[in-house]
Amino acid sequence: MTAAAQDRYTSVAIALHWLIAFMVVGQIAGGLFMSNLDDDQVKLKFELYQWHKSFGVSVLLLTLVRLGWRLTHKAPALPAAMPAWERLAARGAHVGFYVLLVAIPLAGWALVSSSPYADSVQTYLFGVIHWPHLPFFTGVEDREAVSDGFAEIHEYLAFAMIGLIGLHVAAALKHHFINKDSVLAHMLPIARRKG
Amino acid sequence: MKSQMLAALAAAISLAGCGAKSVEAAEAASPGGWIVDKANSRLEFSGAQTGDAFTGAFGAFDAAIVLDPADLSAASIKVVVDISSAKTGDRQRDAALPTADWFSAKAFPKATFAASEIVAVGDGAYEARGKLTIREATRDLALPFTLAIDGDKAVADGAATLVRTDFGVGQGEFATGQWVGLDVKVSFHIEASR
């Protein structure tokens, strides 16, 4: 592999990063908005939940593709000047993202599948593709309690995601404007190489 | 080749259908009896989900109708609806309809309306007073309709508004009108010959 090729993530990795990033930000905003809507806004609420499920499954599937890609393609090397603790922190944050990107949709899927509404509200991705419920909850007595439990997990993990995004963005900007290294450029859609 | 196979399949299905319905066909062939023209008859319903109106139809139903306006004392109507044939054109809603919270189609595959008291209430206007059974509930229903007979052809139209929860349609979270309206208008257009 040439040095130039190692300068940035691969185009596929960059595309997946930004696609997932925009979806996640939209999901956080949409999720907070829809869950705080009054019950008398039934139409908007119902439709937003359908969209949220569609994009949530999209994030899950794209993340699995991205994980597969990440495990088979090398990431660009971090700047040699980075101290060991920063490398470790960066590694930890990236692993944390992958964990959350899988766990949050799974918790959402579980809360939908265990919901008292589950039988009547099947999930159709973008109104078209049937997405089944998880099969583990058919015999559950108190569906509401189980579903609410998953909803709490879904919500807390989403708050962890918000925190991690803040950290991630701050670190990227620090690398770009304070360290003036190429770390942010590794993931920019348009190559901007620093000398 | 493919279209030939499809045609053969369609013929086989319609033959099987005729066999299953021979009892009602025999009833309809009795004096004063009508044979429903299924291709031109419709059984529809409309309601509201999250405030938006929707319409649907039962694609499969049978009606045994004995009705001579000159002798209403012998009149009778029996309609049997294949409950799993309800379609509204929305995948999500159509997936919900047969489930236990709604029609519970496995446990209650047929809805029926049976009336043997048919009264004239005006010029070409009638009321069929009978019993409607949906799911586990049977209730009295007075079904108004108009009937126009031209020779051996008849056209009937009617409608009634039902409260779905009277029949247990919409359980649990759906027993209120919050997401899906309680009123459901059921209407029909029947063409028949004798």
The answer to ipTM > 0.85 is: no
CA distance B183 to B57: 16
Interface contact B178, partner A, CB < 8 A: yes
pLDDT band at B20 (very low <50, low <70, confident <90, very high): very low
B/e letters for A60-97, b = 16+ CB within 10 Å, e = fewer, are: bebbeebeeebeeeeebebeeebeeebeeebeeeeebb
Q: Shortest CA distance to B66 belongs to which of B186, B147, B138?
A: B147
Q: Which residues, at least 6 apart from A65, have a Cβ–Cβ distance to it below 8 Å?
A: A16
Rounded to 5°, the CA angle A34-A36-A40 comes to 85
Residue A145 has what pLDDT? 95
Residue B19 has what pLDDT? 39
CA distance B43 to B92: 21
Q: Shortest CA distance to A108 belongs to which of A71, A75, A133?
A: A133
Alpha helices by DSSP H, chain B: 2-20, 22-28, 91-96
Residue A6 has what pLDDT? 62
Residue A114 has what pLDDT? 96
CA distance B151 to B194: 9
Residue A1 has what pLDDT? 42
pLDDT band at B26 (very low <50, low <70, confident <90, very high): very low
pLDDT band at B173 (very low <50, low <70, confident <90, very high): confident
Do B12 and B21 meet the contact criterion of CB atoms below 8 Å apart?
Answer: no
Interface contact A121, partner B, CB < 8 A: yes
CA distance A107 to A153: 7
pLDDT band at B11 (very low <50, low <70, confident <90, very high): very low
Least Cα separation, residue A127 to chain B (angstroms): 8
Residue A7 has what pLDDT? 82
CA distance B33 to A135: 50
Interface contact B92, partner A, CB < 8 A: yes
Both tokens of A182, joined, read 């190429």
Interface contact B2, partner A, CB < 8 A: no
Residue A185 has what pLDDT? 93
The larger pLDDT score, comparing residue B90 to residue B21, is at: B90
Closest residue of chain B to A46, computed from CA coordinates: B50
Interface contact A42, partner B, CB < 8 A: yes
Out of A43, A124, A128, the one facing B50 most closely (by C-beta) is A43
How many inter-chain contacts (A to B, CB under 8 Å) are there? 39
Q: Is the pLDDT of residue B145 over 50?
A: yes
Pairing assessment for the beta strands B183-193 and B42-49 based on DSSP bridges = antiparallel
3 state DSSP class of B74: helix
CA distance A155 to A11: 32
User: The whole model's pTM is what?
Assistant: 0.81
Residue B32 has what pLDDT? 73
Residues of B in contact with A116 (CB under 8 A): 172-173
